[in-house]
Amino acid sequence: MRIDADREVCTSAGMCALTDPGRFDQAEADGRVVVLDAEVPEGDPAALAAAERCPSGAITLR
Ligand code: SF4
């Protein structure tokens, strides 16, 4: 699977970085999401949880 995070939609809530800190970070300048590793093993539970918990729906898995 591959992760996409839409920085235009991100509201800097930080749930993704809290849920899956190895894969997501937040930019120092604006707090918006930074994807550290976009390639995700199929069904990765942390990545799925991060996408589910994002309040703005900025994270998509495909
Ligand atoms: S959880 Fe969603 S809104 Fe919050 S920083 Fe991550 S991508 Fe942005």
CA 32 to ligand 1 centroid distance, Å: 7
Q: What is the share, in percent, of the chain residues with pLDDT greater than 70? A: 100
Residues in the chain: 62
What digits encode the pLDDT tens for the residues 8-17?
A: 999 999 999 9
In angstroms and rounded to an integer, the radius of gyration of the C-alpha atoms of the chain is 10
Q: What confidence score (pLDDT) does residue 24 get?
A: 98
The residue whose C-alpha atom lies closest to atom 8 belonging to ligand 1 is 10
Q: What confidence score (pLDDT) does residue 51 get?
A: 97
Q: How far apart are CA 42 and CA 39, in angstroms?
A: 9
**Boundaries of domain holding 14:** 3-61
**Which CATH number goes with the domain that contains 51?**
3.30.70.20
Structural domain count, the chain:
1
CA 53 to ligand 1 centroid distance, Å: 8
17, 3 contact by CB (below 8 A): no
